[in-house]
A and B are shown apart, each in its own frame.
Chain A
Amino acid sequence: MSKLFPPSANKLPLQIIIYVGVLAVIATAGVTYYMTPKYTRVGYAPVQPVPFSHAKHVNELGLDCRYCHSNVDKSYHSNVPTSQTCMNCHNQIKATSPLLAPIKESYETGKAVPWVWIHQTPDYAYFNHSIHVNRGVSCVECHGQVNTMDTVTHMQPLSMGFCIDCHRAPEARLRDPKDIFNLDSKTLAEQGRAADAAKFVHDWKVKPPQSCSGCHR
């Protein structure tokens, strides 16, 4: 039988296996990295109709989160303030700034300012703000250090894995209830107060749901 294949072809099966293997690894790695919320969402910082700076309002002026997001401890949503809330101060301060024009217009006409939604959970996940901020979870855990941001940026993946990590081990992320709205504060664990964290979990009977029904209904 004549030689149909050169001797080098003997290595071909091995080469193919290695090649396919490498390709699979690259594809898997690519999908795992690029197609997860960690890549698709973290860093999302859209341009807002009004360049509102949290850094200025919180860090420089010392506004509490709840001045604007007034229902965060009562409701599902952490409400974005109405234009009227802005105008409480801005009818005095920088009242003529052109940057504020959309707010002023909205206040006068009653039409909403179209703020771009950044931290968006899927429709089938029901996240409740009030239960988190009332029971030891600070804004900063999900939203990052908003108090230092000029432009709000998506800091955490907010994927199911991200939620579950904390729900499985809440003691690592709990803060002193006094520090919830202090975005520069540290968690009890970070302060080295692991015993306090454990006491918190015990006394408050913190048992975050890990069942589907906790968030999906």
Chain B
Amino acid sequence: MKRKVEHPAASESALTGPKYWRSLDELAATPGFQAQLEREFPAGAAEMNGTDRRQFMKIMAASFALGGLGLAGCRRPEQNILPFGKSVEGIIPGLPQYYATAMPLRKSAIPLLAETHQGRPTKLEGNPTYTPHGGATTLIAQASILDLYDPDRATAHTKGGGVLNAAAVNEVLASIGKNYTGSNGAGLAFLAEESSSPTRARLLKKLRSKFPKAVWAEYEPVVEEPPVAAAQACFGASVKPVYRFAKAKRIVSLDCDFLSAESGSLYYAREFSKGRKVKTKADADKMNRLYVAESNFTLTGSMADHRLRLASSHILGLAIGLLTKITGNTELAAQAEGLGVKPEWIAECAADLVAHRGECLLVAGAHQSAQVHAIAYGLNAYLGNIGKTIDFVAIEPSTAASISDLASAIKSGSVKTLVVLGGNPAYNAPADLDWAALQKSVGEVIRFGYYSDETTAASPGCAHIAAAHYLESWGDARTADGTVVPVQPMIMPLFGGLTENEILARIAVETNADPYALVYETITGLAGGDAEKAMRRFLHDGVLAETASPTIAVALNMASVRALFQKMPAKVEFSAKSLEVRFVTDHKMDDGRFANNGWLQECPDPMTKISWDNAILVSPKLGKELGIDPKGSLIQVARKEENEFYIGKENGHVYELTIGGRKIKGPLHIQPGLANYTVVVALGYGRTATGHVGTGAGFSGYAARTTTAMHIATGATLSDTGTRSLLANLQEHWSMEGRDIVREANIDEFKENPAYVRGVGMESHSPSILGEEGEKMKLGERAAAVPRGGSLYDTPSDKNGGFDGHHQWGMSIDLNTCIGCNACVVACQAENNIPIVGRDQVLRGREMHWIRLDRYYSDGNIDAAAFGGEGNAQLPEDPQVSLQPVACMQCELAPCETVCPVNATVHDDEGINTMAYNRCIGTRYCANNCPYKVRRFNFFDWNQRHLDSLYMSQLGPKGMPELVKMVKNPEVTVRMRGVMEKCTYCIQRIQNGKIQHKVKMAQVGTPGEVVVPDGTIKTACQQVCPAAAIEFGNILDGQSAVSQAKSREHDYSLLGYLNIRPRTTYLGKLRNPNPKMPDYGALPLSRVEYNKKNHPAGSGEHGGAGEHAPAHGEKKEPGHALLDAAKKIGGLS
């Protein structure tokens, strides 16, 4: 039976004020956006193009002819089973194995457990033994496994076009050692990346003692750790801070994106979310409050309770303002003036910190100057936070030369042999060094790298030594807190790549350069005791116990701090003619090293939602001054005329950004929430020499970056080039028409009414959809019995024997802790064999991610023309952000199931809405009928066809490269063209979890215990989540974590009024603003908008069902206009 879902007709008042808007187009309700709302997929997603009918017929005829020839192949192919010749210990065909390893990144590492299937790693999880991360991982760690199987990686050692074999490479390396032994290394230079590896540190010492005159330089294009100079000045010690966010009740972030861009941000995100976890109203007082002052709009900023848009150059002034207010010291007060910040903002923020001595925390961004950090340290000391919310740990002072030192050595001609260990200086070194030319001038260059990239290309005759992936390497690393973790190989180097340690050992002419032996020596040296035992323990646990850097007691030295403030930077005023530029580490590409990773490229940026590209981000105000906002009410992102708007395709104006004479070109994207005259450029794009995926994606910001302005540049200008560039922006796809999607409240309201979510939204106006009977049931009963309520549709339930009676799966997502980092998106992609579709197809709205993170803006002042207002006079500049991960909700009364003509999507006996790919014939009715727009259709055979020849269909090349096949999860079907797919709650994990539990119980003699204990089965998104926002489990078990979460009072269903009863529910978002702050609002801005839309007469408090007598008289005219509009688009037919 077909069940038609009727959205309640919008009342007049409902149409007089908008709520959430996810893009400026939505806010302005442009015709293009309206048209898109009506569509199942964005325009172009469901259409063929590039082929007319006649050509299509030709191609089809050709395919039929080929098909006829192929009939000979009807016989079943003979396949073989190939067991090992000699048994291999521990390997059981069909069962995955898990090994501890770690992903090293700059001065930190992420401890991991790698899942391997018959020797090939397929998935990475956080190592739960390392408690600070609690088993979570990051977006980049999840995606890094794809790099291992990248067909574009350096697959051989080469020199000037020829291939070097392993022996020749050893000879090259050993000859360096021999040639420079006599001269003590004079003429030899190294350029390496930062590393936390104890083995590398040990080898470096040896290398230096052997070649005392050699230059050892380290270069990282981006910074993650605070400048050591600040700690030196404050405490006279080489220390770095480790923040304890879980203990901090009040947090002030000074341009610090500690949730994603700082060293140790995974730990910080986890700790921060602990302070955001509010289960009941008793927890409400424990919730932390976050003040953020920043120029860019970061994820940290999106979590802020009070957010201040301020140019990065002015952050020092703000810090001084806080210093003055908190300590009363007015020495520097003059610096704090003229920032345009309300004095009350600073005063009340300061007062709040003072009121929370010992349980507050100030953090400053790594790119900020030593002075800002010194103030943050000083204030933390003054407020008694040291040892409580902030600890200082000793760090080894770096003895490496800088890249500038090395550049001048090369210029002076004193470098004869240059060894470039990793990194990619020709791409990312400061532009004023002109590194490519410098490198060319060196006689002999040895390059060690994972890709044959820009740096390799800069010295065509150099020896390129292929690097091993970390999953192929023996090594070690230290996490951000100093704990030593192993880097253990999961597979032999696929292309004979070497490790950095091995190279150093060979150059230093070590007798044993075997990478395992090198690590063994370091670790057993560190661990002491029985060497073999210690090493085994180390590899088994994945951490070396008690190696975290010890906390050091520090005392503030005012004299040296004063010295630091002798010279203050000149105050800069910004305007459209003189802009500030922030170069930021990209959320996905990092500094560009992951540019060839398709998962990361396709993952949208968490704030701009642009994939496969970067853009020059400008504030709405600057956009207006540049004249790129359309006139009138048609406010559209980065485009002027309506007819240039292709739905789902952002048509960005390409501008030229000039900084000190250096120019870069890129499309503009108007990003609400930026400081007015700060322009943000994400680094890591515009690669010219990497693989197929990364080459040509976006533009490179490095071309305009100089040694003196690495992170913040001033005095920049923008000029129009007159051209346009399409951006693959996922922001407008899959709109939910701006209803009560994310429900939020301030903590004070929550304290009074923890069930505030019930007063928001359609359900609050109608009788319970569960019926009286259903409303009385407990969660578990409700899940098993599926009360019919008002539904005619008879779904499986215990009553009709459709359910198995043991498990009913459900999920709860806590919107209050979700930080929107996208890690779940890529974890899901890795677990479920989700294909990459490429930039061109994303532009057509055909991305395949099973989870998307919706990012909504709200600013409370919306009065759009489309809703009967006067229209927006100005682009909103300071919105609040609400983030929401959305995957298939596994509705109990799933609308997709009723429309499938072939029963390909049906309910299973555990309440999951399943997809049988083999039955699916691709009608896409299900996607059409899904109110959440979470179903994804395989428009092409993404796995078997090359992304650049998709439209050639049968005539194009076919087949997946062997290397790419290796990353696929064998537990999940690889889908082909023409089938629908969507989230399955990781059905493979559920089935395996149940099977393993039942087998275990049968073997221990209690076969009747078939219910899987809570916590055994984790979905991929749940396991990766840095904020622990996702709970998953059996809702028949009242004690399970998910049942507990779902029974909290602020649990709600998305679009609950549709009576489709999603199994995934959300915990409402809470904000904790300070009532004394000038930007305080009694309601979150989204609620202000909600009320404006639903209660235009200001009927105020929102209560139970049916109390709203419509007071719709006042706004008749606009309402009618809207009704007409709605009729036109068929909304009220």
* Assembly CA distance A153 to B804 (angstroms): 36
Report chain B residues within 8 Å CB of A52. none
Report chain B residues within 8 Å CB of A60. none
Given contacts A77-B93, A107-B85, contact A135 B914 (CB under 8 A): no
Q: Mark B299-330, 1 if CB is under 8 A from A, else 0.
A: 00000000000000000000000000000000
Report chain A residues within 8 Å CB of B999. 73-74, 130-131, 134
Q: Quick check: is A204 within 8 A (CB to CB) of the other chain?
A: yes
Report chain B residues within 8 Å CB of A115. 80-83
Residue contact A120 to B971, C-beta cutoff 8 Å: no
* Assembly CA distance A81 to B917 (angstroms): 33
Within the complex, the shortest CB–CB distance from B797 to chain A, in Å, comes to 14
Interface pick from B527-535, B763-771, B1002-1010, B1075-1083: B1002-1010
Within the complex, the shortest CB–CB distance from B371 to chain A, in Å, comes to 57
The interface size of chain A toward B, counting residues with CB under 8 Å, comes to 49
A-B contact pairs, 8 of them (CB 8 A): A77-B93, A108-B85, A110-B86, A128-B991, A131-B998, A204-B1008, A211-B909, A213-B987
Most chain A CB within a 10 A radius of its CB, from B83, B910, B919, B990 = B83
Within the complex, the shortest CB–CB distance from B525 to chain A, in Å, comes to 36
Q: Quick check: is B806 within 8 A (CB to CB) of the other chain?
A: yes
Which residues of B (71-120) have their CB < 8 Å from a CB of A? 76, 78-88, 92-95
Residue contact B1002 to A207, C-beta cutoff 8 Å: no
Q: Quick check: is A114 within 8 A (CB to CB) of the other chain?
A: yes
Which residues of A (87-138) have their CB < 8 Å from a CB of B? 106-117, 120, 123-124, 126, 128, 130-131, 134-135
Given contacts A204-B1007, A214-B908, A217-B973, contact A80 B83 (CB under 8 A): yes
Given contacts A114-B80, A130-B995, contact A71 B92 (CB under 8 A): yes
Given contacts A74-B999, A81-B83, A109-B85, contact A213 B991 (CB under 8 A): yes
Q: Quick check: is A182 within 8 A (CB to CB) of the other chain?
A: no
Q: Quick check: is A3 within 8 A (CB to CB) of the other chain?
A: no
Residue contact A83 to B80, C-beta cutoff 8 Å: no
Partner of B78, one of A76, A79, A116, A131: A116
Partner of A79, one of B93, B806, B972, B984: B93
Residue contact B95 to A205, C-beta cutoff 8 Å: no
Within the complex, the shortest CB–CB distance from A214 to chain B, in Å, comes to 7
Q: Mark A128-163, 1 if CB is under 8 A from B, else 0.
A: 101100110000000000000000000000000000
Q: Mark A169-206, 1 if CB is under 8 A from B, else 0.
A: 00000000100000000000000000000000001110
Q: Quick check: is A85 within 8 A (CB to CB) of the other chain?
A: yes
Q: Quick check: is A212 within 8 A (CB to CB) of the other chain?
A: yes
Q: Mark A48-79, 1 if CB is under 8 A from B, else 0.
A: 00000000000000000000000101111101
- For the residues of B in contact with A, the DSSP-based class is loop
Q: Quick check: is A43 within 8 A (CB to CB) of the other chain?
A: no
Residue contact B85 to A112, C-beta cutoff 8 Å: yes
Within the complex, the shortest CB–CB distance from A158 to chain B, in Å, comes to 13
Report chain B residues within 8 Å CB of A213. 908, 910, 912, 914, 984, 987, 990-991
Residue contact B87 to A124, C-beta cutoff 8 Å: no
Residue contact A79 to B92, C-beta cutoff 8 Å: yes
Partner of A217, one of B78, B85, B906, B972: B972
Q: Mark B975-1017, 1 if CB is under 8 A from A, else 0.
A: 0000000001001101100010011001100011010000000
Q: Quick check: is A36 within 8 A (CB to CB) of the other chain?
A: no
Report chain A residues within 8 Å CB of B95. 71, 74-76
Q: Quick check: is B151 within 8 A (CB to CB) of the other chain?
A: no
Report chain A residues within 8 Å CB of B80. 112, 114-117
Residue contact A217 to B87, C-beta cutoff 8 Å: no
* Assembly CA distance A20 to B215 (angstroms): 91
Within the complex, the shortest CB–CB distance from A43 to chain B, in Å, comes to 13
* Assembly CA distance A216 to B991 (angstroms): 10
Q: Quick check: is B916 within 8 A (CB to CB) of the other chain?
A: yes
Residue contact B87 to A82, C-beta cutoff 8 Å: yes
- 6 closest A-B pairs by beta carbon, nearest first, are A211-B908, A76-B94, A112-B82, A75-B94, A77-B94, A110-B85
Residue contact A217 to B984, C-beta cutoff 8 Å: yes
Report chain A residues within 8 Å CB of B971. 126, 217
Most chain B CB within a 10 A radius of its CB, from A46, A112, A211 = A211
Which residues of B (577-633) have their CB < 8 Å from a CB of A? none
